[in-house]
Amino acid sequence: MSASRQARLLAERLGFSRSSAYHIATAASELANNVLTHAGGGRLRASARHDHPELAVIGLELLAEDEGPGIPDPELALTEGYSTGKGLGCGLPGVKRLMDEFSLETRPGGTRVRAVKWR
């Protein structure tokens, strides 16, 4: 099963709206594609998050990690329209825009992207 489908199904099980579930699925697809295309593989994990269990705040976290070459210019990589490949340049900027929280850590030898959508 694809990463985007798994993320969408988890979002639906957690009670996210249909549009939020598709935003999560799109972000998962972009992250999975980046891990494969730019690092030759890695891990993408989708998991439930409870910020304050007593308030029943539920989120879904996407965590993409690889051991690739790193991103030489992270600021440029987060610029709309910038692409190192043949894509439209919507990957990381799109993930950041679709999700509520976004962080990027990169160095030679690996990149870690964390994105969270809150319900």
Q: pLDDT (tens digit, 9 = 90+) per residue, 23-48?
A: 999 999 999 999 999 899 999 999 99
Whether 17 and 32 have beta carbons less than 8 Å apart is answered as: no
What total number of domains does the chain contain? 1
The whole domain housing 33 covers 3-118
Q: Dihedral sign, CA of 42, 105, 14, 95?
A: negative
DSSP-based three-state secondary structure for 45: strand
Instruction: Determine the pLDDT at residue 50.
Output: 84
Q: What is the CATH number of the domain that holds 19?
A: 3.30.565.10
| 43/74 Cα distance (integer angstroms) | 20
Six token digits for residue 97:
């825009």
Q: pLDDT (tens digit, 9 = 90+) per residue, 56-105?
A: 779 999 999 999 999 999 999 898 877 776 554 468 999 999 999 999 99
Q: What is the CA radius of gyration of the chain?
A: 14
